[in-house]
Amino acid sequence: MNNIQQEKSKLRKEISSIKKGYSSNELYNRSNEVLSVLELTGVFQDAKNVFIYNNFDDEVQTLEFISKWSSEKNFYLPVVESDNLVFRPYAETTGFLQSSFGIMEPIGDNFTDYRLVDLIIIPGVAFDRYMNRLGRGKGYYDRFLTKLKAPKLGICFDFQLLDKIPVEANDVKMDYIVSENELIW
């Protein structure tokens, strides 16, 4: 493990510790604040086909948001297949299976016409003011994002938005970052 990887690992632990200081109700309320800011952005308002995620318990919570907007937008959720992300359509009637990571993943056919994607909304452990993102360390999003031309929008809680985070050459930058009190582009 090189120095940057060690710094990333340390930062992941620090952010995890901060998250544990919040109750699930506090994270739910903070999630609603983040998503209220997201709803005001032109990039979201104009998007018809949106890649988004089904959250871990400690991430910005998206399922109610997806349900709220699903009559106006087409949403696609990630599934991990052989160390790669694929996305599948979401509908109110979509069936789900629990992944090995504990995330509910949609059942169905993979969506592959990436030209139609208008926006991808991405979770992260931390983001910085230079549009960098720190993920959970598996590289799923960094590998996947190179296939897309759609704007990349990271969403996070205020405490996850830092001045600077450690980055490596393969880390993909965001085009936008949204937290409870900030919108960076």
Q: Is the dihedral of CA 66, 46, 72, 68 positive or negative?
A: positive
* CA neighbor of 70 nearest in space, from 44, 92, 37, 38: 92
Q: List the structure tokens of 98.
A: 């629990």
What mean pLDDT is reported for the chain? 91
Higher-pLDDT residue of 105, 145: 145
Q: What's the confidence (pLDDT) of residue 1?
A: 64
Categorize the per-residue pLDDT at 31 as very low, low, confident or very high, splitting at 50, 70 and 90. very high
Determine if residue 156 is left, alpha or beta; phi over 0 gives left, psi from -120 to 50 gives alpha, anything else beta: beta
Alpha helices, DSSP H, located in 47-122 = 63-69
Q: What's the confidence (pLDDT) of residue 56?
A: 77
Higher-pLDDT residue of 35, 58: 35
Write the burial class of residue 56 (CB in 10 Å: 0-12 exposed, 13-18 middle, 19+ buried). middle
Domains, the chain, with CATH or none: 3-184 (3.40.50.10420)
What is the percent of the chain with per-residue pLDDT over 70, rounded to a whole number?
Answer: 99
